[in-house]
């Protein structure tokens, strides 16, 4: 009886490490009542440990149920896409199998005992094996979490499927090994070879995962950089066009002032007044300067985009503070350009009710930028939608905004409220 309690206690420790590992690796969607969520998985996993082997007399069934429980737990409570969740579930189970196999092999050599005797013995060696196995598993999970900090795996769907398939195959091999041990249908040499192979496959696959992820991340960064350079060129072209327009207006106004001066010298005051009024409405009326900031680049971008809104009959609501000191003009102009472009594109899908609200202000040590725009209800809930034909190059708008937000240790939130899309950006003021 006491040995049954020892085995159950070891399984309890293992399940605690499991739920702690996947929770820290993926992160929780909601930080509230984490203990209750973890407790639910722990209870179900312990029922699996105690009941399933007694009913089905199979470790494979128990392992499958554990995988399903862990996958369900990850999908419901944890962050990340489905590929990440499937990967970490299988990877976690493989860590357990690899650690157990490794320790069984080592203890077999030390005590000159076969795998089955080690698994079935009821003495101090068995206690040492259980303690060492769980401790090594805990250390492995800590190291992986530490390595994962600040790192996300960037793989395509096909690459994720490849990695998961490799892990699944090794998982099946590992479970079959333990099933053979349980039923005493095995050869020590074959099992030792399988154990070494299992470890090598895990190491190679994890290395492949990291390599593919780094390569894809590099490609993504290059694509973003290319988009940013293109946007910078567009901004500079806009500024140059505005400057050229101002020079032309300045040249025309100079001529008009000379002409008005002649009329005044001739005493033709009424004609001079009428002439100046015509100039004011014809020439100066073409100058649309909605905002003037210390940064001429950012001012030009905002004024250019607001003018575009006006030309497209988009109702504008703005509140803009000059608080961009400490930020790169290029970064802010790129961020604003993406926000405005996405908002204008969404508004242009509407035949009526086009609305854009733009607010930029300092709040609690952050530069806060809030963009609201009306959207087509059929696209509500889809942040990444675009109508542009070149979807490959226009899929980085949200990504670029996110990158700039993270660069300044900020936050970003994209959400739909009714028929409005809201982008809320926080950038840390230096």
**40-88 confidence digits (pLDDT tens):** 888 888 888 888 777 777 667 887 888 889 889 988 888 877 877 887 8
Cα–Cα distance for residue pair 86/249, rounded to 1 Å: 63
The CA R_g of the chain, rounded to the nearest whole Å, is 33
pLDDT tens-digit profile of 378-412? 655 455 444 444 444 444 567 778 888 888 888 88
pLDDT digits (tens, 9 = 90+) for 97-140: 778 777 777 777 776 766 566 666 666 777 777 788 888 888 88
Average of per-residue pLDDT values in the chain: 75
CA dihedral 108, 111, 117, 121 (to 10 degrees): -130
Are the beta carbons of 312 and 354 closer than 8 angstroms?
A: yes
Domains of the chain (ranges; CATH) run 2-225 (no CATH), 290-430 (3.30.565.10)
For residue 106, what are the contacts with CB-CB under 8 A and spacing of at least 6?
none
3-state DSSP assignment of residue 376: coil
pLDDT tens profile 271-310: 777 776 776 655 554 445 677 788 877 888 888 888 888 8
User: How far is it, in rounded angstroms, from Cα 47 to Cα 45?
Assistant: 5
Tokens of residue 265, six digits: 């010298």
Q: What is the pLDDT of residues 314-336, one digit of tens each?
A: 999 999 988 888 888 888 888 89
With H, G, I as helix, E, B as strand and everything else as coil, classify residue 149: coil
Tell me what pLDDT residue 258 has. Answer: 74
**Of 88 and 258, the one with more pLDDT:** 88
pLDDT above 50 for 165: yes
Question: How many Cα atoms within 13 Å fall on the side-chain side of residue 295?
Answer: 19
CA distance 246 to 239: 11
Q: 160 and 92 in contact (C-beta within 8 Å)?
A: no
Between CA 403 and CA 164 the distance in angstroms is 28
Distances (CA, A) of 75 to 34, 90, 254, 353: 15, 14, 69, 38
């Amino acid at each position: 009886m006491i040995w049954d309690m020892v085995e159950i206690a070891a399984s309890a420790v293992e399940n605690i490490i499991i739920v702690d590992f996947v929770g820290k690796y993926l992160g929780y969607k909601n930080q509230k009542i984490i203990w209750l969520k973890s407790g639910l998985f722990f209870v179900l996993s312990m029922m699996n440990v105690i009941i399933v082997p007694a009913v089905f007399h199979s470790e494979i069934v128990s392992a499958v149920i554990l995988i399903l429980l862990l996958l369900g737990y990850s999908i419901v409570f944890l962050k990340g896409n489905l590929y990440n969740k499937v990967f970490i579930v299988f990877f976690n189970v493989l860590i357990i199998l690899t650690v157990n196999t490794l320790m069984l092999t080592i203890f077999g050599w030390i005590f000159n005992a076969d795998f089955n005797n080690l698994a079935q013995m009821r003495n101090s060696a068995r206690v040492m094996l259980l303690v060492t196995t769980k401790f090594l598993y805990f250390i492995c999970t800590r190291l992986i979490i530490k390595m994962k900090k600040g790192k996300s795996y960037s793989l395509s769907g096909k690459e994720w499927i490849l990695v998961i398939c490799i892990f699944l195959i090794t998982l099946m091999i590992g479970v079959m090994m333990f099933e053979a041990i349980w039923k005493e249908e095995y050869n020590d040499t074959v099992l030792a070879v399988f154990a070494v192979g299992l470890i090598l496959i895990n190491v190679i696959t994890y290395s492949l995962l990291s390599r593919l992820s780094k390569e894809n991340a590099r490609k993504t960064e290059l694509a973003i950089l290319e988009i940013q350079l293109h946007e910078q060129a567009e901004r500079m072209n806009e500024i140059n066009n505005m400057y050229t327009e101002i020079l032309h207006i300045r040249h025309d106004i100079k001529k008009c002032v000379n002409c008005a001066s002649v009329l005044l010298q001739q005493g033709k005051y009424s004609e001079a007044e009428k002439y100046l009024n015509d100039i004011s409405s014809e020439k100066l009326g073409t100058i649309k300067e909605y905002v003037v900031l210390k940064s001429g680049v950012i001012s030009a971008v905002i004024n250019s985009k607001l003018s575009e809104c006006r030309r497209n009959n988009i109702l504008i609501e703005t509140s803009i503070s000059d608080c961009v000191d400490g930020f790169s003009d290029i970064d802010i102009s790129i961020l604003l350009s993406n926000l405005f472009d996405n908002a204008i594109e969404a508004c242009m899908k509407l035949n009526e009710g086009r609305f854009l609200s733009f607010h930029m202000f300092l709040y609690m040590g952050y530069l806060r930028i809030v963009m609201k725009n009306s959207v087509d209800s059929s696209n509500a809930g889809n942040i990444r939608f675009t109508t542009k034909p070149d979807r490959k190059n226009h899929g980085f708008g949200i990504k670029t905004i996110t990158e700039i937000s993270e660069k300044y240790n900020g936050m970003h939130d994209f959400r739909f409220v009714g028929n409005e899309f809201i982008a809320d950006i926080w950038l840390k003021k230096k």
